[in-house]
Every structure is written in structure tokens, then in C-alpha cells.
Structure 1
Amino acid sequence: MDQPSYGANHPQQPEPNGGEFSALQPCAQHPERVTGVRCQRCGRPVCGDCQVQAAVGVHCPVCVKSAQAGQRAVRTPLGGRLANSNPMLVTWSLIGVNVAVYALMWLLQLVNVQAIYWLGLAPVVAFDEPWRIVTSGFVHSMTNPAHLALNMYTLWIFGRMLEGELGRMRFLLVYGISLLGGSAAVILLSPPTTLTVGASGAIFGLFGAVLAVTLWGPKHHRSNLTSILVLIGINVAFGFLVPGISWQGHLGGLVAGTATMGVLLARHKRARPPRQ
């Protein structure tokens, strides 16, 4: 008794169009190659390079791609798409950019170029030099390295908490809008010539995102509400009580981050199919 190779159909099995297969057919993807193996779903001839092992027989690349397109992406309770690789890619990238900018500022300082005065944000120049609205969130005090270290450590903590749950693009969206919100509050509320720098506004936006998740996210997060409120209250008060800290940037980032996360949570709730 003949035993056809794994995944091959019997040579006499009819095609869907009523014809019959010969024992060997040119591969659908590589016509110069002949094969006796066919896709178990559509019947296309598939050579060794095109064969994708399945639970039963083999599938061709076209059927595999079609099946993958029809699969729903696995999402977290907050609506984020699970990352196949580093779940903190955006967090580490943001930390890397901040550290690289700080290193560049030190190099420029060696040739008597004070980059902080070109990149920091002061309301009086915000509209003439609008790039400062963004760049101010990536420069830090040159006289106080702890400013950078504390901000990056806090960003790492919140990146671990949020990026994997939100997904990369939505985490970056919350961070970016929080940065802009902090800059907007600085422009509106700070003295015109006061120079403001640092990632604190964007990081306070991540505080706000955690608050929004605690208030409006899945119920199991609400047990942390008291501790989150205390933590935010201490940090906000710190900005008002300690000289040299921009409470305006902190407040603007906090409001922007809370609002952005609230919108994302509302959209996710509407997008979820109702339970049967």
C-alpha cells in the first residue's frame, strides 16, 4: 500500500474546480519548484520553503496570513495590546533620550554653550521659539544631577506600572500630552521670565494616569485609591512649599495626564463587546 508523504493529498483527489491533481505540481509561490505537498486548507501546492506546519498537515503562507489577520489581538484589562518583545521599550527610550540630552548639554558646556537657555521654557519666549514647549521636558538642571536621577527613577517606576497595560502607543500618548499640558500651565501661570526645565510635568501626567485608572479603571485598582491620593498630595504640596520647583508644570501635567487617561478608559469601555 502506498503511503503519501506527510501533508500530501492523494494524487487522484479532485480539485475544487472539478479537475484532478497530478502527483507533482509547481509551487504556488515558487513556480520553478515542483512538489507533491498541498495546503490542507486551500489545496495550493507548497514547496518545502513555503510549508507552515499546522495541527493537521501543512498550510500555505496565504492561508496562514489570512488566519492571522482574522485573529483578535490579545488586550490587557486597560485595552493595551500585549507586546511581543520588551514591554518597557518606550520607557527605556524616553530615559535614554533624557540622559543623552543631559550628556550633550555637558559637552556643550565645555565649549561655553549653555544649552539650557536655548532649550528651557520661559513664557516670554514661548511663542517666538515654540520648540521650547517640547525640549524643556528633556533638559534638566546642570547644577543638580539629582534632578535628572529622580525624574528618571520615577519614570521607570511608572513605566513598569503603565506601559505594559496601556500598550506602547497609548503610553507614549499619555506622556506626550502630559508634557504639553505641563508646558501650557507654565506659559499661563509662571512669571514671564522664569526658566522651567525638566520631565516633571510629563511624569506628573503619569501620576494622573494612575489616578484615573484607580478611579475609573477595573474595580480591583480601587483598593489603592487612598495611597495614590496621599502620594499625589505630598508631591503636589512639595512643589508649592519648596522654592525652585515649578508647581505650574506639575499641576498642568497632572490634569492633562488624568484627562487623557480618562478618555482612553472611556473609549476602551465603549469598544468592549457586551457580556452575553
Structure 2
Amino acid sequence: MTDTRLEWTQGDRAKAAAKLMLGWVALLWVLEVVDVVSGHALDGLGITPREPSELVDVVPAAFIHFGFAHVAANSVPLLVMGFLAALGGIRRFAMICAAIIVADGLGVWLIAPAHTNTAGASGLIFGLFGYLLVSGFVERRPWGVVAGLLVGAVWGGAILAGLAPTQTGVSWQAHLLGLIAGVGTAFVFRRRATPAALTS
């Protein structure tokens, strides 16, 4: 009976994680449609560094993209990595994402080149990559280690390429800061192993 309840709990978590990430990615596409229809009015929600008024855009910038190709490039990795991270619990996942988005956005605001406008979900994606890569080892959870190795095998090359400062039109600063923030959240939000229950 206990095993059955555990399976249902895991199944419910998977369904909740899938619904959340499908909705999240759909929202990004809807926002880009609105942006195009409005003559790219939403592009102003990107982060222009070291302008005090731009601090309010730290969070919205993670949901805005510069064109459908930009959204498309971020959709699959966000969907998959977000799903894997959300399996650990929706509330915990929300805190992890919030921490990554805020840390990444503030970092971009501080160190990005002057007169640039940075937006997109890639900072969060790099953060989720960093989180998934190390959280299994930090928490000593086998499934987490497997998830991290899988994510590393699939997206490791693209992540390394995204950190190269030679790419034009790409914020390697946002990528690097997101990655660092994600690794940090793996330690900050790590779960303690619960002692095994023994009967006498």
C-alpha cells in the first residue's frame, strides 16, 4: 500500500511539473506574439545596465524575447530542464527559479556592457542547467545524479558555447551569471536526507 501511494505521489508531481512548464513555455510564446503585434513594445522590458529605473525589469526580462527564433531556441531546454527541476516540488522549484532570475538579472544590470538591452529565458536555462548538474551530488540522490548527467550530456556543449564572450548579440554575462546562480541554488535549497524509519 505504501509503495502504491508513493507511485501516485510521483505521478502527481510529474503531471504538475509538466503542466507548469507547458504553461510557462506557452506564456513566452504568447508574450512574443503580443510583442510583435504591439510593434515590439515589450522589448523595453529588457535590462539596460546601471540605470536605476531598469531594476524593475530584472524579473520581466526573463520572460521577454527578441523574435520568435529567440523563443524557439529557449523553449525546449526550458521545458525539459524545468520539468526535471520541478519534479522536486513546485514550491521549491518556484523559489529556485525566483532566486536564479533575480540573481541573474541583478548581475546583468551590474556588469553587462553599457547601452545594451538584455532579455530572454536563457539566464534561467543556464541556471537550471547548473542546478540540475550538481544538485544530485549535493543531495546524494541517485535520480538527481542521473538527471544531471543526462542534462550535461545533452546540453553541455551548447552551454559551453553560450559562455564564450566572442559571440555577437549574445549575453555571455547573463549565461555565466545564471549558471553560477543555479549552482548556488543547489546548495542553498538542498534537501536534507531524512533518517530511515525503523520498527521495533
Same fold, TM exceeding 0.5?
Answer: yes
Q: Does 1:237 align with 2:197?
A: no
Q: If each structure's helix is expressed as a fraction of its own residues, which one has the higher value?
A: 2
1:44-193, aligned counterparts within 5 Å?
A: 82-83=12-13, 85-109=15-39, 114-116=41-43, 118-125=44-51, 127-142=52-67, 145-164=68-87, 166-193=88-115
Higher relative contact order (CA 8 A, sep 6+): 2
Q: CA deviation digits over 1:55-94, x for unaligned, max 9?
A: xxxxxxxxxxxxxxxxxxx779xxx895395432221222
Unmatched tracts of structure 2, length 5 or more: none
Aligned-pair RMSD on alpha carbons?
Answer: 2.9
Give TM-score scaled by structure 2 length: 0.80
Counterpart for residue 9 of structure 1: none
Give the greater-gyration-radius structure (CA). Answer: 1
Q: CA deviation digits over 1:13-34, x for unaligned, max 9?
A: xxxxxxxxxxxxxxxxxxxxxx
Give how far 1:247 is off: 0.9
Question: 1:85, 1:221 → 2: CA distance?
Answer: 18
Unmatched tracts of structure 1, length 5 or more: 1-73
Question: 2:151, 2:14 → 1: CA distance?
Answer: 32
Counterpart for residue 252 of structure 1: 177
Question: 1:235, 1:85 → 2: CA distance?
Answer: 28
Give how far 1:198 is off: 0.5
Q: How many residue pairs get matched?
A: 190
- What fraction of aligned residue pairs are identical, expressed as a percent? 26
Give TM-score scaled by structure 1 length: 0.60
Question: 2:71, 2:154 → 1: CA distance?
Answer: 24
Give how far 1:115 is off: 2.7
Question: Could you say what secondary structure the match of 1:83 adopts?
Answer: helix
Q: Is the 8 A contact 2:48 2:54 kept in 1?
A: no
Moved over 6 A (4+): none
